[in-house]
Amino acid sequence: MDEKISLINRYLLWAEACGCEMFRGQTNAAWPLQPSIVRYADHVRDRFASIAEVEQRLIAEFEKFALPFGDLRPASYVEKLIHAQHHGLPTRLLDWTSNPLKALYFAVDNPDADEVDGVVAAFSPAYWWDNLAQVKLEADLGTFYPELVNERVGAQEGCFTSFPLPARGFDVLPLAAEHDPERVARLDAFVVPAAAKRDMRRALSRFGINPRTIYPGLEGVARWVRSKLADYAV
């Protein structure tokens, strides 16, 4: 059996056996399960009193300058977070997908990280918020499937974990069973060897998991065409 297909088979057997509902691919296996606002805050912490204040400023600026492309002012704060997150703004949200193959794509999609192992985390939360109206951002760690507020959420079969941000300071613990025993029913991981990443991109594209399907629109088409023509080296 082809080695890359064998790896995908082992991965799918693991995803089925672990019994988790959510999967997250990361291009570097050493990264903790933390939202992007944590890394971003390191660059601006001398100008703010807390990481919560950093997020509030980011969302306010995003809402203001996004106006020519869509009016977010009537949206709830959590809806603004989802829109901002999917356009690259750091927030308290951590992206997951319910599709393990799409999570594997995110673990291998960046050729600049082909020298390090990737990882797919599998997570079963102890409870869910059923809809956006139930989301309590300042409560403990929580998980929810969003309404389809934009097309990327649907394409990526997205769901989110929301991390509470302290009103003072910048400390946000990564997702881990020892940190949140009452919130984590199960947490597991599958390491993707660095040497297999390019083959994984090629194989996943055959299965219809590629930038064209993950990122709807011309940007995704362009990324896929560029990668395909270079035999998934870029």
pLDDT tens, position by position, 32-79: 999 999 999 999 999 999 999 999 999 999 999 999 988 999 999 999
Range of the domain at 78: 3-195
Q: Is the pLDDT of residue 198 over 60?
A: yes
Number of domains in the chain: 1
This prediction's pTM: 0.88
| Angstrom distance (rounded) from CA 137 to CA 78 | 8
Decide if 211 is inside a domain.
no
Domain-located, residue 204 = no
Say how many Å lie between the first and final Cα of the chain, rounded.
26
More confident residue, 87 or 30: 30
Residue 170 pLDDT greater than 90, yes or no: yes
Cα separations in angstroms, 131 against 98, 109, 211: 16, 30, 28
Q: Is 27 a member of any domain? A: yes
218 belongs to a structural domain: no
Q: Is residue 89 part of a domain?
A: yes
